[in-house]
Structure 1
Amino acid sequence: MIGPYLELVIIAIILGAIVWLSRRNGAANPVGTGKLLHEMSGIRQEHVAHGRRLKKLEQAAASAEDVEKLSEQFKEQQTRVEAIERQVSGIERQVSDIASTGKGTAARVREMDKRQDTMAEYLAALRADVAAQRRQLDLIYQVLVPKGMQG
């Protein structure tokens, strides 16, 4: 009989010790629990810091809608750039045509200058011939008119 009562007393002592230690909140090992509390505090601070960083990242990160809007805007800009490139290529063709026309015009102007120089030389020679013929006619008139009046 003492055996089962002894077992009950031992069980009661163990349960009492467990209850007593649990009410002390770990005061039996203050160094170990203090270190544990310090580490838990550090982990809690890191957790809060990570939470803040995550919140900032979530705010800074683009949502799928934002990405879709940016994609649409990029496509619109790309369409505008392509239209501008077509306009620029048309302008380049026009400038090229104008440049070739300018080169052709410059060649024609040089050719006309040469012809004008040739014509000027020809006219100067012709003027000299006409002046010489006029002097000869004046001399002929000086001789013929007095003879025709006498006669």
Structure 2
Amino acid sequence: MAANINNTKSASSPLLRRSVMTEECRNALRARDRLLYRQRRNNFSEQQLHTFRERQRQQRNNKRQNISADQRAHHLASRRLLYQNHHRQNLIEQAPSSQNLPDTVMVTHLQQHLQSEVERFQIRPLTASVNTNMNSISIDLG
């Protein structure tokens, strides 16, 4: 990783806000955070892991009870965006292996994906189709 990562815990650090970082720095920082998390998680004993998860669960419950409706909506939107970005990143990383799927499997997968997206966004498409040649989904909302 060519990106220079400083300690972002310091309040005086100019890299404290990830929004002002370059994409390369953000990706490097994200990779470092994931590595540190995995190392920390792998070093936990069962009892420590249970205690850690219980404490996290309690903190989340306390936060949920003490936030306003606006804060809750903002939090849920940011979590949704984070999940979508993470999901997209996983799809990008898995892309080469998925290109070898048989057409019937890919069509089935795309149809399931289409159905889940229609349900997720609560839309009633007038026309929804799967293009098997392009491995894509078309939705005409009229």
What's the TM-score once normalised by structure 1's chain length? 0.21
Q: Which structure's relative contact order is higher, taking Cα pairs within 8 Å and 6+ residues apart?
A: 2
What's the TM-score once normalised by structure 2's chain length? 0.22
More helix by share: 1
